[in-house]
Structure 1
């Protein structure tokens, strides 16, 4: 490696450190810790590219002072109660989708993703340019008494893998659908019957036709899960979940044991994982969609514009109702809506993704 390359790497490292307030001056030896991470994921790229990659980066960036062992869903507690597992100290760390805490505080859907929310690109800008990440941390500190670092941007989901084609509201009415988060209630307003279940139960429920259709993730993770093998129809676009985000949460007492330097490095690891998941899930989705449309043997169905319009109307109506009785929901919702108004001019000076080859 040449002197100039070495100098460039040192400059890059210094810039990254300064961005999160980390000193490059050697500090006193910090305490080494080995922690367990609870997750809601049995497998797939959310645990591999998300939780495990975050743990790997934390280990590398802290020179091994903070080691995080990642456990699959159900090992350290309920798959849908990661926050409780971290609060109690059964696990010092959790990788979570905040909307799983639906029954405690519905504000989690604003940060985790919902049908009136943001695209993956918009999430990146909202979190790191518009103050969304700091608001998220404040909410978790106040409501859940845990420390949170955003650590993943989710893909736009497939609307449904289904045993019947769905184009209109009339097609949707009466269907029994597996979903979660805000859509579990909004979908009922559109005529469906909804069921919330852990990830490990989704495939068998669809296979045995316990449900008529399911939503899970984007083309990449859904292909790896094999949903296309047991349901003929794939319905798009994912108006119920344009995108979302994951959080890495820490038990407050465990977090307090870390040096300020290691806390800053963990924050930086979260930001880097957010970037890596954004491009990694995107890569998986491009490959997954190509497979599903060419070799999956499925029929792709597009939602009618009238369905999309009705879903959007029902979503904002639902959110307005939540805001009337939940101060934190109102604060986060209005913050995100203000950003959406600011970003509305985006298409006037930026070309949409993929349009240059059309």
Structure 2
């Protein structure tokens, strides 16, 4: 048993779910091969895939076995969903940001530029209608059953060879990203480059790109990105929070008993809480280390942050208009739910205290 799983067992919510789960049914054990979107050494794989598989086995008393495979074993990162659709894998754990081109609604199920922060996104997904929309969307469009299953907090905005601070600083900047943020970068004058994460270090090191967004402080530190470029840019308004999802072929999910379906769902909800807490602990430690290092920390001007938020909304509603015209109702349907929740959150949480202050920025 990993230390991560020992930690989650001590939480009251996890203990309650384990208690309520009860004994497993007598049906034969089910084994699913799960491809993952990240490499074996990645924090995303270590904190998401491995503990989730262990938790499923624990909650189901071994009646459901998840066999996780890192990116590149069954399929490359960007082809993880296709591996399930083609039958090479039974299930996938990935961020839907990798399939935004399949349907722009996927941006809202994963990470959205200028979108919700961790607590708001978690509540929308699990208690605000997001989970139901995700399940319905996957059933209708991909013949999969999907659950939000692992969450991370705010990423660093960029590791950069240039001190990005104002809108003027973005003009012509070659910026690595994925998903809808590529179009947002174009709108503010940058030149986005969409490549898998395992190419980021080399491209930055060789100067093939000017800047790159990749992950949170702990993941960027682990990847050594601070060694490749002088400037660390924050806040990560492009990814205020993100979800991974677990998606399995619908016929395999439907073959489970309702009892086992409930236990796998509980495993995903626990994973959503635990990964967020674990990531946050790692990120605070990594941010403290990065601030003591040789990089320069640069804070984006508020004008840039607000412009990215504006361009993100403009992008999704432009895609909704296109969807309406082409007979795809999903973009608007998901966007209306997402932003109704987000606007309510913005309008009715001002009573809360703020527990952080902005870091001083290098001029």
Say whether the fold is shared (TM-score over 0.5): yes
Distance in 2 separating the partners of 1:14 and 1:285:
26
Residues 1:214 and 2:215 are matched in the alignment: no
Q: Secondary structure at the match of 2:239?
A: coil
Distance in 2 separating the partners of 1:267 and 1:273:
10
Q: Which moved more, 1:157-166 or 1:34-43?
A: 34-43
Residues 1:317 and 2:314 are matched in the alignment: yes
Q: Secondary structure at the match of 2:55?
A: helix
C-alpha spacing 1:125/1:260, structure 2 compared with 1 (3 Å) = same
TM-score (norm: length of structure 1): 0.90
Q: How far is the alpha carbon of 1:88 from its aligned partner?
A: 2.0
Aligned to 2:352: 350
Aligned to 2:17: 16
Residues 1:260 and 2:262 are matched in the alignment: no
Aligned to 2:283: 285
Q: How far is the alpha carbon of 1:18 from its aligned partner?
A: 9.3
Q: Secondary structure at the match of 1:177?
A: strand
Q: How far is the alpha carbon of 1:348 from its aligned partner?
A: 2.7
Q: Residue 123 of structure 1 contacts residue 153 of structure 1 at CA under 8 Å; is this kept in 2?
A: no
RMSD: 2.0
Distance in 1 separating the partners of 2:226 and 2:240:
21
Distance in 2 separating the partners of 1:58 and 1:291:
34
TM-score (norm: length of structure 2): 0.89
Aligned to 1:54: 52
Which of structure 1's runs of 4+ aligned residues deviate more than 4 A? Answer: 11-15
Q: Residue 159 of structure 1 contacts residue 235 of structure 1 at CA under 8 Å; is this kept in 2?
A: yes
Q: Secondary structure at the match of 1:271?
A: helix
Q: How far is the alpha carbon of 1:34 from its aligned partner?
A: 2.3
Residues 1:162 and 2:163 are matched in the alignment: no
C-alpha spacing 1:14/1:272, structure 2 compared with 1 (3 Å) = closer
Q: Secondary structure at the match of 1:318?
A: helix
Q: Secondary structure at the match of 1:286?
A: helix
Aligned to 1:190: 188
Distance in 1 separating the partners of 2:168 and 2:77:
34
Distance in 2 separating the partners of 1:152 and 1:28:
26
Aligned to 2:63: 65
Gaps spanning 5+ residues in structure 1: where?
Answer: 1-8
Q: Secondary structure at the match of 2:322?
A: coil
Cα deviation code 1:110-160 (max 9, x no counterpart) = 110111311011111111221111111111111111111111112111111
Aligned to 2:3: none
Alignment of 1:196-345 (within 5 A): 196-294=194-292, 296-326=293-323, 327-345=329-347
Cα deviation code 1:299-354 (max 9, x no counterpart) = 00111122122222222211220111222011111101100122124433222234
Q: How far is the alpha carbon of 1:13 from its aligned partner?
A: 8.1
Q: Residue 96 of structure 2 contacts residue 110 of structure 2 at CA under 8 Å; is this kept in 1?
A: yes
Q: How far is the alpha carbon of 1:82 from its aligned partner?
A: 1.3
